[in-house]
């Protein structure tokens, strides 16, 4: 009989937690759980109490004896953990609003994981994941770290390369949407198709075969992206405006793009749409804040003991379910194929062997074994090599606090034109997030001292957004 396991979720007050609990309950025969610990910071204590009580109701309704613990003490929670999942947001949704609004006010894309906002989410998050790993090294040295904190690829790379925590796997919900879309278009069950993904987190491509060995990728391109098929181009991603891709470009590419590629392949119309939302006080952060208020009101219902349908309206739906799948695959050494962020190990020939990529992998008790993709076409190769260099430079900046590295990451990013506007946005975001960027303290003090116009711009912008909340 298997020893019973302890699972810790950092960011336990997240609105996604009920999905995580549902996923664990559905896999109760695969996961001999003894304890679930939800951990959060003081600012998230009220939400954690709400979702924690709901988790207890869900588990009781399932007739399970799992013990649920709620705590603000991360070290207490981590002791002797078997699996540690992360779903936290440094600075909460107010930080996301800054990541979106400050670039958009300057004519640049503001988005959670792309462009300037994505870089700053990494700058805030990576130091925290490295602190968590130091705690894990002392308290649960054999635990697996399952990360679905965004930007998941960069956070996973920092954990493995800088934190030296080899037992780390990153997850994303985006492949789920593409798999569902392909099944619908081909009128097939997932079990009747084989998928292979390769790329970076929120920047991958994929191919599809049927069980007879026939590749269906070109057929899917025709059925999804041809002009008369535009209504099928929706991948179910709630947080991305569904502008149709250019058919001729995708046909030339020959592999299926990720929904997030719109920010790069359709940069001009996507930016225009984001600016329009910004001008109407409807950035994604502002929309999600309203959605979360509704969700937590639902979660307070003492009779609610199941995941409500409204949770699917959050852009990250299925992240938590994927985490449960991954834990079950590791725990039972199933070899199940999943799309994860893990070491490249030669899977994508165009990228460094030791970098972190998002690929289809077989999940075993010793971790993810990536499936070989080979080389990408030149049209994809150039972009992914640039994006990987940008990720590596961003991680360097997060670890070192080097302003030059942060500026260089901005310059490498395809969504940020190099020049004075980039510097203004970089400085404004540094000032706006100063509470969460101690490694940049000297540079931020310099900005406050020598660039009062930056301070005024940020304060007035955020006051305006708050007034319209």
CA dist., res. 104 & res. 446, Å (int): 24
CA dist., res. 244 & res. 252, Å (int): 16
With 0-12 CB in 10 A as exposed, 13-18 as middle and 19+ as buried, what is 227? exposed
Chain centroid to Cα 170, Å, comes to: 9
CA dist., res. 46 & res. 132, Å (int): 22
Q: Are strands 256-257 and 144-147 parallel, antiparallel or unpaired?
A: unpaired
Structure tokens of 427?
Answer: 């400085």
SS3 content of the chain, % helix, strand, coil (to 5): 55, 15, 30
- Per the CB < 8 A criterion, the answer to whether 69 and 49 are in contact is no
- Per the CB < 8 A criterion, the answer to whether 285 and 121 are in contact is no
CA dist., res. 64 & res. 80, Å (int): 21
Place of tokens 């919900």: 173
**Among candidates 90, 27, 15, 99, which has minimal Cα distance to 327?**
27
Q: Which long-range contacts (CB under 8 A, 24 or more apart) does 364-369 make?
A: 364/329, 364/330, 364/333, 364/334, 364/335, 365/330, 365/331, 365/332, 365/333, 367/166, 367/167, 367/169, 367/330, 367/342, 368/169, 368/338, 368/340, 368/342
Chain centroid to Cα 308, Å, comes to: 22
**Among candidates 216, 218, 225, 220, which has minimal Cα distance to 243?**
225
CB-facing half-sphere around the CA of 465: CA atoms within 13 A: 28
With 0-12 CB in 10 A as exposed, 13-18 as middle and 19+ as buried, what is 44? buried
Q: Where in the sequence numbering do the catalytic residues fall?
A: 260
């Amino acid at each position: 009989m298997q020893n019973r396991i302890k699972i810790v979720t950092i960011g336990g007050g997240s609105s996604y937690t009920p999905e995580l609990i549902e996923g664990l309950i559905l896999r109760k025969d695969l996961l001999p759980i003894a304890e679930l610990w939800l951990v959060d910071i003081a600012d998230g204590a009220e939400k954690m109490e709400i979702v924690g009580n709901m988790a207890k109701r869900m588990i009781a309704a399932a007739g399970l004896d799992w013990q649920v613990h709620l705590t603000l003490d991360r070290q207490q929670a981590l002791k002797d953990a078997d699996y540690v999942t992360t779903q936290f947001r440094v600075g909460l949704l107010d930080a996301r609003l800054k990541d979106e609004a400050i670039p958009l006010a300057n004519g640049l894309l503001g988005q959670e994981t792309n462009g300037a906002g994505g870089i700053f989410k990494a700058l805030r998050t990576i130091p925290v994941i490295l602190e968590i790993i130091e705690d894990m090294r002392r308290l649960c040295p054999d635990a697996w770290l399952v990360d679905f904190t965004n930007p998941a690829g960069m956070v996973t790379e920092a954990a493995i390369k800088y934190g030296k925590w080899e037992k780390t796997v990153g997850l994303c919900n985006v492949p789920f949407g593409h798999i569902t879309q392909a099944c619908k278009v081909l009128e097939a069950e997932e079990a009747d198709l084989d998928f292979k993904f390769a790329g970076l987190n929120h920047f991958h491509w994929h191919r599809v075969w049927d069980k007879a060995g026939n590749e269906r990728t070109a057929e899917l391109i025709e059925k999804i992206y041809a002009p008369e098929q535009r209504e099928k181009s929706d991948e179910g991603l709630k947080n991305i405006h569904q502008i149709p891709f250019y058919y001729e470009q995708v046909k030339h590419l020959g592999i299926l793009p990720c929904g997030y590629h719109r920010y790069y392949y359709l940069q001009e119309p996507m930016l225009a749409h984001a600016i329009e939302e910004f001008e109407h006080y409807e950035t994604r952060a502002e929309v999600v804040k309203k959605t979360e208020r509704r969700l937590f009101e639902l979660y307070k219902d003492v009779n609610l003991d199941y995941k409500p349908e409204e949770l699917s309206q959050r852009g990250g739906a299925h992240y938590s379910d994927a985490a449960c799948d991954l834990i079950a695959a590791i725990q039972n050494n199933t070899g199940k194929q999943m799309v994860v962020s893990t070491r490249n190990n030669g899977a994508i020939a165009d990228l460094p062997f030791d970098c972190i990529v998002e690929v289809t992998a077989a999940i075993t008790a010793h971790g993810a074994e990536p499936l070989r993709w080979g080389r990408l076409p030149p049209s994809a190769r150039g972009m992914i090599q640039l994006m990987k260099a940008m990720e590596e430079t961003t991680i360097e900046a997060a670890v070192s606090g080097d302003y030059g590295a942060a500026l260089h990451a901005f310059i490498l990013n395809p969504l940020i034109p190099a020049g004075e506007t980039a510097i203004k946005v970089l400085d404004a975001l540094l000032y706006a997030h100063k509470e969460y960027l101690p490694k940049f303290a000297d540079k931020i003090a310099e900005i406050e001292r020598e660039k009062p116009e930056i301070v005024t711009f940020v304060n007035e912008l955020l006051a305006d957004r708050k007034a319209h909340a």
